[in-house]
Chains A and B, each alone.
Chain A
């Protein structure tokens, strides 16, 4: 992605790319709805949900929010802090499992 052509004129891009992404978001939403509609279960269900979710999020961020055309200084400033969330998810997975374990251990009839 060339950064010099955006200079001070703001983020201006041909409408075509927006329409394509717009249509793509619709299709991806239909797909993720279909996952539920056809009652897919287990790992297939979860992996498809996450796949469609990440694709949608990625297209919104890169094209609609113009991340694809921003300078790397801004991109890194946004992406690197978000990595901390994965650590938090890992910690809370242990915490949730532990809560479940203690409840089963001490509170089950």
Chain B
């Protein structure tokens, strides 16, 4: 690792070029699991970008008026419809879960086993409640409003298909995240990252970096929701 000491003081493009040209591992000081998570997230970014761009193309090409999402996703509070109330609550839940996740990562690196585990569990519960609200939203839309992938009573028929696909795909991401959060929480709770217990699948020594890798995934799910919220619900 002689070259990494010489590139230590470089900044910006220079250090990037030096790292990429070092004929050693490119992502220095980055655990392999984290680097792979980033590469996965990059590919996932392209999937969600394709979905959102597809939504844009559909909406541009639609000759009928696009359904007013602000009204469709309104919840009635005391007889008066409040626009996007459920979506706003879901947004805040996801942001809250991102906050608890980032704290779990922090306490993980402090090797505070119990706090890390509890914060991961709280994150998972918030994620599960997000999925629950989404299920409620879907049910309301399908059963009460009669929205289908091929038609809906509000306007352009394309609305249903793209809505179910984008929010469904995001919902699957949240659900998978909840599952993995619970697995990581269990491992933290059992002290497997303190004892460097080998993973049942990878056979690699466990350590608290895995909490950060898990956190990257979870923040990404929140990040995607930011874009869905802006383009699908607010636009």
Chain B residues with CB under 8 A of A65: 215-216, 219-220, 223
Contact with B along A1-43 (1 / 0, CB 8 A): 0011011111111010011001001100100110111000000
Residue of B nearest to A37 (CB): B83
Docked-complex contact B235 and A46, CB < 8 angstroms? yes
Chain A residues 32-65 with CB under 8 Å of chain B are 32-33, 35-37, 45-46, 49-50, 52-53, 56-57, 60-61, 64-65
Answer whether A93 and B60 are a contact pair too, CB < 8 Å, given A60-B222, A78-B38. Answer: yes
The residue from A49, A66, A72 contacting B16, defined by CB atoms under 8 A apart: A72
Docked-complex contact A25 and B103, CB < 8 angstroms? no
Give the interface SS of chain A, mostly helix, strand, loop or mixed.
helix
Answer whether A97 and B60 are a contact pair too, CB < 8 Å, given A13-B106, A78-B42. Answer: yes
Chain A residues with CB under 8 A of B230: 32, 49-50, 52-53
Chain A residues with CB under 8 A of B176: none
The residue from B16, B38, B110, B226 contacting A56, defined by CB atoms under 8 A apart: B226
Residue of A nearest to B16 (CB): A72
Q: How many residues of B contact A (CB 8 A)?
A: 63
A19 vs B96: C-alpha distance when bound (angstroms): 11
Give the interface SS of chain B, mostly helix, strand, loop or mixed.
helix
A70 vs B95: C-alpha distance when bound (angstroms): 23
Docked-complex contact B91 and A72, CB < 8 angstroms? no
The residue from A70, A95, A108 contacting B30, defined by CB atoms under 8 A apart: A70
Residue of A nearest to B207 (CB): A10
Docked-complex contact B46 and A64, CB < 8 angstroms? no
Docked-complex contact A92 and B57, CB < 8 angstroms? yes
Docked-complex contact B95 and A32, CB < 8 angstroms? no
B139 is an interface residue with CB less than 8 A from chain A:
no
Docked-complex contact B12 and A26, CB < 8 angstroms? no
Chain B residues with CB under 8 A of A26: 92, 95
Docked-complex contact A99 and B61, CB < 8 angstroms? yes
Chain B residues 3-53 with CB under 8 Å of chain A are 8, 11-13, 15-16, 19-20, 26-30, 35, 38, 42, 45-46, 49-50, 53
A85 vs B43: C-alpha distance when bound (angstroms): 12
Q: Beyond the given A29-B91, A71-B15, could you list 4 further A-B residue pairs with CB under 8 A, ordered by the A residue number?
A: A32-B229, A36-B233, A72-B11, A97-B61
User: Could you list some 5 contacts between A and B, CB below 8 A?
Assistant: A10-B209, A36-B233, A64-B222, A73-B27, A107-B63
B-side residues, CB < 8 A to A, are 8, 11-13, 15-16, 19-20, 26-30, 35, 38, 42, 45-46, 49-50, 53-54, 56-63, 70, 83-84, 88, 91-92, 95, 98-99, 101-103, 105-106, 109-110, 208-209, 212, 215-216, 219-220, 222-223, 226-227, 229-231, 233-235
A-side residues, CB < 8 A to B, are 3-4, 6-13, 15, 18-19, 22, 25-26, 29, 32-33, 35-37, 45-46, 49-50, 52-53, 56-57, 60-61, 64-66, 70-78, 81-82, 85, 88-89, 92-93, 95-97, 99-100, 103-104, 107-108
